[in-house]
Amino acid sequence: MKKILVPTDFSPIADNAARYAIEVAAEFKSELYLCHVYSFDRFNYDLNFPEDEQPFAREAERRINRTKLRFQEKIAQNGLSVTAIARQGNIFSLFKREVKQHGIDLIIMGSKGATGLKKVIFGSVAATALELAQVPVLVVPPGYSFHPLQHIVIAMGHNEVSPTVFSPLQKLASKFGAKATLLRVNTGSDGNTYRKMDLCLEGVETTYREAPMSKSINETINEFIKGEGCDLLCMIRRKKGFFESAFKKSIIRAQVFSNQVPLLVLPEV
């Protein structure tokens, strides 16, 4: 967790995720990268200026620096450093380009979690980050305030997972002294690989639970979280295609829109 990327669109929800990221970074003494990407179109490109002096780009730079200053006191109190980046590009490309360029270990971002059109436009940014990023992504729900992790729920299927996939989660749980519950939603299929995962979470108090499926996997997970309480939900993004699930639809993508606690997605790369 040496380097954490925090994408921002300058919204209150992005600011809330940045505050969460600062708290996580304080535990690991991580470097923070606050990043905003923008693109030109016929409405914001001024033909009176060359591309490297466009007013729209200059304003983006001013806004990212103002955002950095807004968090500077909290960052300094924790002995952290932050790099502010405003760069032209596609919003979705930053999850590959910036991660590779800066050697990012973790992405922390917000999600609108709205319904209707807002859900499609804003929620898809977080969902696409989960699809594209080759590092763990932690999505913070709107209005969620940070508090030290105590209970992490790991929603698992039947398939075995490489031990290295769980390394970021093990580091988080160990740093905060959190316990973990490996949850399997019983969809009626056979198999149980939980006991093979003990070494993946070495040093973390771990329990194993099974929940009968209600209306959907997502609703079952949310009901379990509400009943048992947890500070973080963890899910695994498989290699086998776009958020593959038993029902051939995106369980993780749906969870982004419905989650009431931060969601950590670990990529199986």
The rounded average pLDDT for each run of 10 residues, N- to C-terminus, in the chain (269 residues) is 92 93 96 87 72 79 93 93 88 80 93 46 59 86 92 81 84 94 76 55 87 82 88 82 44 75 87
- Residue that the structure tokens 């989660």 belong to: 169
Rg (Cα) of the chain, in Å, rounded? 19
Alpha-carbon distance of 223 to 226, in angstroms, equals 5
Dihedral in degrees, nearest 10, Cα atoms 269, 31, 92, 41:
-160
Structure tokens at 88: 């032209």
Q: Please, what is the angle between helix 217-228 and helix 251-258, to 10°?
A: 50
Write out pLDDT tens, residues 55-105: 778 888 999 999 999 999 999 999 999 999 998 877 677 788 888 899 999
- Model's pTM, two decimal places? 0.85
Domains of the chain plus CATH, in order, are: 3-140 (3.40.50.620), 151-267 (3.40.50.620)
pLDDT at 244: 45
Determine the 3-state secondary structure of 117 from DSSP: helix
